[in-house]
Amino acid sequence: MGDSLFQLPDELLFTTLSQTFPCRDAQIRAVATLLHPLAAPCQNLVIHGTEATGKSAIIATLLQALQDDTEKDQPLLRYVIINSIECITARHLYESTIAKVAEALQWQGAATRCDSVSQMVVELSKMLKYPSYPDNFRFVLVFDGIDRPREAPITLLPALARLSEIIPRITSVFIATSPPASFLRTSFVPCIEFPNYTKNEFVTILNTTSLPTAPLPTTTIQETTELWNRFTGAVHDALARAASRTLPSLQHACTSLWPRFTAPILAGTHAPREFSKLMVAARVHFQDESLLDPGIVAIQSYSSSSTTTQAQAKDNTAALPSAPPSQANTPRKVQSTTTTPSKPKSTANPFVSATTTDLSTLLPPTARLLLLASYLASHNPTRHDLVLFSTFHHGRRKRRGGLSVGMGRGGHRGAQSKHRKIARKLLGAHAFVLERMLAIFTAVRGEWDPKWLDKDVSNREMDADIEMAIATLASLRLLIRVGGAAAGGVAGDQMDRGGKWRCNVGWEVVRGLGRSMGVEVEEWLVE
Amino acid sequence: MAESHDDNPALFEDDDNRAVYIFAPAGHGGSPQQEKARPVKRRKFTSKRASSSSAAAAAEVVREGEAEMERAQTTTAAAAAFPPLFGGKESVEAAALRRQVFDTAWPVLDGRIKNVLREANRTTLEDVSSFIRDAEGDTTRGTRIPAGFIITGPNIASQDLLFEQLSEALGKATQARFVRLRAAGVPNLKAALKKVIRDATAQVSSDGGGGGDGDEDAKVTFGRDGRKYLDYDLEGLHAFLSSQQDPLKRVIVAFEDSEAFESSLLTDLLALFHSWQGRIQFSVLFGIATSVELFQARLLKSTARQLFGAKFDVVQADLVLDNVFKSAIAGTQATLRLGPALLRNLLDRQRDQVAGIRVFISSIKYAYMCHFYANPLSVLLADEKSLTRQLLQPEHLQAVRTLDSFKAHVEAAVDARQLNHAQSLVEDDGYLVKQMVEQRQKKQDYLMQLLRSLHLLTSMDLVPSRFTDLYVSALAGGLDLTPTIDAIKRLGADDVPALINRLLAAIQTGNPDLDLPGWEDEAEDLISSLTEIRDEIEALAEQAREKGQQSLKSKFTAQSKILRTTVVAQKVQLSQDTAKLTEEDKAFGKTIDSLVDLLTHHIYSEPIDSLFLHQAWAYDAEAPYRDVFVPRPGTTFERALTRPHGYLGCECCSKTTGTLSATLPTTCILYQLYLETGSLVNVADLWSAYYALVGEDSDVGLGEREALVRFYRGLAELRLMGFVKQSRKKADHVAKVKWLL
């Protein structure tokens, strides 16, 4: 009560915070001023900045610190943080807000059902507006990631921004990536930006957070620290400036490059002070794309013996260059530089051989044929079907060669070829009717599958195996049903011959598939 | 019509076992007891069947087999024997015995197959569970979600067992709650979360779960404080896990067919799991049919960064197939031998089509069922005790005498001048029975010989060919040793003793996969001859070395003729020269010859159909298998629509095969007309053509109103079967949809 009208939070609080979150002093002070109940509490506050700039973490820690700081005999500040990503529906958001507020205030008997914003306002008013609280009491509602709500009505944000008009004790904090102008539809909302770190800040942070704890052998801790310092700067210049702009990705790049960078020191060829020589030696590693896009497989081959696993997992990125060539996310460039490409660690399972990413080894022949047929159906116009696949007039069907030659020499090149400049295979796949694809399938099958011709005629029609293959391809999303159930007419069954489909694999894959069966798909494509 | 079907359960029971279903709507009074006895699932068939008369009739052939199989499965417990064969003359005992033989034969195999399958996944299971356990303490993981990518191959449907095992093993190894998600079951985020929460909470106790099934946002109570949670709120799961005093709070979510999930759904779910990571220890498993790279290409980069993945390979389907084949088809435990044609078909299908190992196993089972169900001679497979002389009826002997193999046997006896033997076989029943009993031992000998030969052949490891192929070709046309012998002849002096050692070891240990014990006692002379040859070759090699010769050459390996070029007076002369073989080399060549002789003497096999009475214990019919497992609905529809009398059993249109006749059912007439049309069908034209056929001037003489009703119904049925559909191109036209069968 006796306190002065304006009082900044304790300086000690800032010191501890800026130790945990280096290089964010200005933001911390600004936010603290705007949230502290005795300083300049505001009604709404927008915190924005790109990812991994410390928005959520700083707000959470700061609020906890402020709450502890102002806690004397009476509570002056309470807060809740609602993570919008965790809220599936708007109702979920309302209900978890109310539940969390009730928990923070230790309020008994809060409503469990809340369908709309107005109901939430009523509930919040019950808890925050009418009961008596000490003077200057503030309640902070933090909505984290509020720019990406699921199934939220468009009025949600303006409504939340007006909460404090109805309940003056409330401060709403909105954390967003980049708020559009006046997205809260209200004026005078202070915005605090958390900008991305600069190079110096990055280096400082990396020095404090992820400095290698153990010094390198044959060097002192002093030398290691210095080397790390210069190393992080170099990594920043090489990678962060252009591509990986966030702190975690830079951190990841540094930690995974470090073992490779210091390998010459361990080998004894370079001293830790010869930074430029080390840089030259490690230049190839800086070109490794996996630093920027680590991919989803962190452990290349997993063996059940846990000791090797641990070691492997620790320097998994160091092991990357020696990974087998079949793993596609291993960068090609690095492989040429490795001196001794060691064999991948043999797994405990003797049956497992190197897996290939090639579809042609994964799919059985029938499925492959169907996929090729559907690619043809997707990429050839219907009017050319007769020319390509008919065996009626000629013993052999005319292929692309005959067609294009005829068109090229003939006087009527056709207006169509003039205005279509883009090769058809570069255009997206067109939808086709299932019956047409099956007709193409039966036509090309005789040509491509020698076994098919040996079969006796009664066995040559559509059987359940083919339908099973179609269903499998559909479940693998290699074939896609277009138009949904409505297009089917009757019930939209997958086997409906009138249904429309589209081939979902690209040219490269199809060419590979075709070659695996001895077919040049290009010959069967018109144009 | 539907009622008449429902009232006739007895009719169905009979019809299920016929080749075609004869539509006979005449009212048989069904009894309520039978109604009750019918398994529940059959009702579904009934209602489907009644839904449209001719469509159902046409589809009947397809369903027949399934129905039969299902029946056999559902009523295994029933003590009832198979229906008597020989036109009903077979004794009940014999039929019961066939049933009994089947009931004892199949479970043995089933157990072995299950064992093989379980064993195949063992390494994967161990790897996955240790990964999940280790990932928690892994410092490089950060806040990323541990994700196991299990490369299962395109047969996601057959990986059910794997995920079942994973759920068991991981639940035990990591004290985690295991949730299995399939794309079809979880169309959206809410449904997925509901399932995760329901399954994770229901596994320990049932006080939580049981939320509403619909889209209604039901509330569930977890934990002690009685707070209610939305049933898709992970907060609820968290509260539940806390109340269970579960310190680890591990939940493993397995996406069985991850390719089939919408990318956006996966992204949402993973983002959610990631955001809960500190509080609930989520791990995810993905069953991947194609490849991790393709899967990653479908994920957002920001989602990919939230995963800490490791790749696991499931044992390749080929190897599993080989193992199942060895234990269930080739192994000594198999009562029934599947013939080469059927096996080739089954194996081809496994290789060419998207057919999982499950299909293979059910095909074997179906072959067993068919054999014991339909072959009266299968009773001969019963053991000595139950197969008494009284059981064999005159019909059995008659059946034996009509067999091809009997005929061949008798003719062979005649050719060999064993006229008495041949005559007694044909005339003397007692003698025939004795021969039949003797034949059992011969069958055993044949199989032993076959398996031992194959085992020796594969353990020589000279020719790269798969066991399955060897077995099938051995059954079909005997063993072909030529490539092996060629390979043996090309062997050097060092390799032959190693080869002989491998053979000796093979004889000693037998093959556990085939359930083949070692046969040292029976093969004493083979063993001694092999050892002799080995010693001889080693001695020869020693001799050669003493004489300073590099290595032994045989006449097969050494280049016998060498082309020499000599330059004489600036002319090149070519001359052929025979390389000289030393004494040791010649001796070595002889030894190899004797080894080849020995092996050809011991490794041999005859084709299976050269054996007398092989029909009793070998099954080689493809047609039933294809009808059941590879049905051709198109052909079936076509057949039913062109020749409906086959199903209807009526007199009137039996002569009209493939031609129009007014007495045909409306749909069939329309189908005939439909075949003659182009891609767009004018309905008015169709109607006038139809009316001209059945109208008042024709033999049937239908009135216009009735004809129109029938016409509409027929057209609707065609549409239902997917032959035509509404066209937007032209008014009053329908589009022809089906061109292929």
- CA quadruple B341, B344, B348, B349: dihedral sign: positive
CATH number at residue A137: 3.40.50.300
Look at residues B491, B514, B509, B516 and name the one whose alpha carbon lies nearest to residue B599. Answer: B491
**Domain co-membership, A480 together with A519:** yes
Q: Which helix (H) or strand (E) holds B254?
A: strand B250-255
Dist CA A79 CA B685 (whole Å):
78
> For strand B724-726 and strand B733-736, is the pairing parallel, antiparallel, or unpaired?
antiparallel
Question: In a mutagenesis test of the B interface, which of A80, A251, A302 is the best target, namely the one with the most B β-carbons within 10 Å?
Answer: A302
pLDDT in tens, B171-222: 887 788 889 998 888 888 889 998 998 888 875 544 333 433 444 455 666 6
Pairing of strands A138-144, B337-338: unpaired
- Cβ of A463 within 8 Å of Cβ of B726? The answer is no
What is the model's pLDDT at position B52?
41
| A220 shares a domain with A100 | no
Q: At what angle do helices B357-374 and B340-352 cross, to 10 degrees?
A: 160
Give the ranges where B478-617 is alpha helix by DSSP (H). 482-489, 495-509, 524-546, 583-602
Q: Give the span between the Cα atoms of A123 and B727, in whole angstroms.
A: 57
CA angle, B338 as apex, B334 and B340 as ends, to 5°? 140
Residue linked to tokens 């006749």: B661
**B146: β partners:** B308
d(CA A316, CA B210): 44
B134 and A112 within 8 Å at the Cβ level: the answer is: no
How far is B197 from chain A, CA to nearest CA, in Å? 14
> For all residues of chain B together, what is the average pLDDT?
78
User: Tell me, what's the pLDDT at B716?
Assistant: 93
- Beta-ladder partners of A83: A144
Residues A245 and A180 grouped into a single domain: no
Residues in chain B with CB shorter than 8 Å from the CB of A463 are: 630-632
CA–CA separation, B231 and B194 (whole Å): 6
- Enumerate the residues of chain B whose CB falls inside 8 A of the CB of residue A329: 293, 296
Counting every residue written for chain B, the total comes to: 741
Asked if the ipTM is above 0.90, the reply is: no
Dihedral (CA of A364, A370, A375, A380) sign: positive
User: Of all residues in chain A, what percent are helix, strand and coil, respectively (each to 5)?
Assistant: 50, 10, 40
A269 with A291, same domain?
yes
- CB-CB: which of B235, B319, B355 is closest to A351? B319
Number of H helices, E strands in chain B: 31, 14
Is residue A344 included in any domain, yes or no?
A: no
* Per-residue tokens: B118: 């379980």
Tell me: do A37 and A118 sit in the same domain. yes
Looking at the structure, do residues A261 and A121 belong to the same domain, yes or no?
A: no
Instruction: Indicate the pLDDT class of residue B441, thresholds 50, 70 and 90.
Output: confident
Residue type, B289: A
Tokens of B266: 């996966």
| The two structure tokens encoding residue B153 | 């191959």
Residues 6+ apart with CB under 8 A from A109: none
Amino acid residing at A391 = T
A76-85, A515-524, B577-586, B597-606: segment of lowest average pLDDT: B577-586
- In angstroms, the separation between the Cα of residue B481 and the nearest Cα of chain A is 26
What pLDDT, on a 0 to 100 scale, did the predictor assign at position A311?
36
> How many whole angstroms separate alpha carbon B647 and alpha carbon B70?
22
Domain limit, last residue, from A134, A160, A193: A193
Which run of H or of E encompasses A163? helix A163-166
Q: What is the pLDDT of residue A358?
A: 64
Q: What's the token pair of residue A372?
A: 């090729």
Return d(Cα B586, Cα B469) in angstroms, integer: 36
Burial of B184 (0-12, 13-18, 19+ CB in 10 A): exposed
* Distance in angstroms (rounded) separating the CA atoms of residues B161 and B150: 13
**Residue B337 near residue B618 (C-beta atoms within 8 A):** yes
Domain co-membership, A247 together with A395: no
- Chain B residue with CA closest to A307: the answer is B134
State the CB neighbour count (10 A cutoff) for residue A482.
13
Q: Is B493 helix (H, G, I), strand (E, B) or coil?
A: coil
- Per CB-CB distance under 8 Å, the chain B contacts of A490 are 719-720, 722, 725
Residues in chain A: 527
Q: How confident is the model at residue A79 (pLDDT cuts 50, 70, 90)?
A: very high
Chain B residue numbers with beta carbons less than 8 Å from the beta carbon of A152 are none
Residues A158 and A266 in one domain: no
Q: How confident is the model at residue B714 (pLDDT cuts 50, 70, 90)?
A: very high
Residue B611 has pLDDT above 90, yes or no: no
- Cα dihedral A490, A494, A498, A502 sign: positive
Band (B42; pLDDT cuts 50, 70, 90)? very low
CA atoms of B156 and B167, how far apart (whole Å): 16
The structure tokens 């490791």 sit at: B310
Candidate from B127, B313, B735 with C-beta closest to A304:
B127
Angle between helix A306-314 and B122-137 (nearest 10): 50
Which of A182-196, A363-377, B47-61 bottoms out in mean pLDDT, i.e. has the lowest? B47-61
Q: Which of B193, B311, B634 sits opposite A302 (nearest CB)?
A: B311
Q: Is residue A65's pLDDT more than 60? A: yes
Q: How confident is the model at residue B717 (pLDDT cuts 50, 70, 90)?
A: very high
Going across the sheet that includes B724-726, the strands are B680-682, B733-736, B724-726
CB-CB under 8 Å, A85 with B271: yes
Cβ within 8 Å, pair B127-A461: no
**Residue numbers in A near B323 (CB within 8 A):** none
Q: Which residues contact B486 (CB under 8 A, 6 or more apart)?
A: none
CB count in 10 Å sphere of residue A296: 24
Mean pLDDT taken over chain A: 76
Q: Mind telling me how many Å the CA of B605 is from chain A's nearest CA?
A: 29
- Asked if residue A300 is part of any domain, the answer here is no
Task: Mean pLDDT check: name the lowest of A244-258, A374-388, B79-93.
Answer: B79-93
**Does residue B60 have a pLDDT over 60?**
no
Q: Where are the domains of chain B?
A: 2-78, 122-314, 645-736
Cα distance from N-terminal residue to C-terminal residue, chain A: 85
Q: Which of B134, B183, B632 sits opposite A461 (nearest CB)?
A: B632
Give a yes or no: residue A436 inside a domain: yes
A171 and A261 in a single domain? The answer is: no
pLDDT band at B420 (very low <50, low <70, confident <90, very high): confident
Give the pLDDT of residue B238.
86
Give the domain range for residue A23. Answer: 11-193
For residue A257, the SS3 value is helix
Beta bridge partners of B574: B565
pLDDT band of residue A300 (cuts 50, 70, 90) is low
B156–A302 C-beta distance less than 8 A: no
Contact status, residue B152 vs residue B159, Cβ threshold 8 Å: yes
Rounded to an integer, the average pLDDT of B221-233 is 72
In a domain, A4, yes or no: no
All residues of chain A having their beta carbon less than 8 Å from the beta carbon of residue B310 are: 297-299, 302
**Helices within A410-517 (DSSP H only):** 415-419, 434-448, 450-454, 464-475, 507-516
Q: What is the DSSP string of A424-445?
A: GGGSPPPPEEHHHHHHHHHHHH
Same domain (yes/no): A66, A189: yes
pLDDT of residue B217: 53
State the Cα–Cα distance between residues B656 and B413, nearest whole angstrom.
51
List the single range of A357-371, B256-270, B678-692 with lowest mean pLDDT.
A357-371
- Any domain includes A269: yes
How far apart, in whole angstroms, are the C-alpha atoms of residue B481 and residue B468? 16
Closest CB from B155, B276, B631 relative to A86: B276
pLDDT tens profile B253-275: 999 888 888 888 999 899 899 98
The reply to whether A34 and A123 lie within a common domain is yes
pLDDT of residue A302: 58
Question: Three-state SS for A259?
Answer: helix
Domains held by chain A: number: 3
Q: A98 in a domain, yes or no?
A: yes
> How is chain B split among helix, strand and coil, in percent rounded to 5?
60, 10, 35
Please judge whether B140 and A85 are an interchain contact, meaning their C-beta atoms are less than 8 angstroms apart: no
**Quick one: which of B609, B705, B684 has its CA closest to B341?**
B609
Burial A198-214 (b: 16+ CB within 10 A, else e): eeeebbbbbeeebebee
Among the residue ranges B145-154, B173-182, B587-596, B650-659, the one predicted with the least confidence is B650-659
Q: Are A186 and A277 contained in the same domain? A: no
DSSP state of A112: S
Joined together, the tokens standing for residue B489 give: 């002849």
Q: Residue B139: closest CA among chain A residues belongs to which residue?
A: A314
| Whether the Cβ atoms of residue B304 and residue A373 lie closer than 8 Å to each other | no
- Report pLDDT for B658: 60
- For residue A28, being part of any structural domain is answered with yes
Q: Determine, for residues B140 and A489 on separate chains, whether the beta-carbon distance falls below 8 Å.
A: no
pLDDT tens digits for range A459-493: 667 778 888 888 888 888 888 888 755 444 444 56
Phi then psi dihedrals of residue B562, to 5 deg: -115, 135
Greater confidence (A374 vs A6) lies with A374
pLDDT at B336: 86
- On whether the CB atoms of residues A164 and A44 are closer than 8 A, the answer is yes
Say yes or no to pLDDT of B135 above 60. Answer: yes
pLDDT at A401 over 70: no
Cβ atoms of residues B353 and B346 within 8 Å: no
Which residues, at least 6 apart from B423, have a Cβ–Cβ distance to it below 8 Å? none
Question: Average pLDDT for residues B469-495, to the nearest whole number?
Answer: 83
Q: What is the DSSP letter of A237?
A: I
CA dist., res. B110 & res. B457, Å (int) = 27
Q: Which fold has domain B645-736?
A: Arc Repressor Mutant, subunit A (1.10.10)
Query: Sign (positive/negative) of CA torsion A38, A42, A44, A50?
Result: negative
Q: What is the pLDDT of residues A83-142, one digit of tens each?
A: 888 888 888 889 889 989 998 888 887 777 888 888 999 999 988 888 888 888 889 999
* Model confidence pLDDT, tens digit, residues B409-419: 889 889 988 88
CA-nearest residue of chain A to B277? A86
Say what percent of chain A tops pLDDT 70.
Answer: 77
Q: Are B425 and B435 in contact (CB under 8 A)?
A: yes
CA B554: distance to chain centroid? 47
> What pLDDT does residue B487 have?
83
Fold of B122-314: Rossmann fold (3.40.50)
Task: Note whether residue A491 is domain-resident.
Answer: yes
Question: Which of A100, A148, A257, A296 is most worth mutating to test chain B (most B CB atoms within 10 A of its CB)?
Answer: A296
- Report pLDDT for B36: 44
When mean pLDDT is compared across B49-53, B148-152, B522-526, the lowest value belongs to: B49-53
Choose among A248, A301, A329: nearest Cβ to B293.
A329
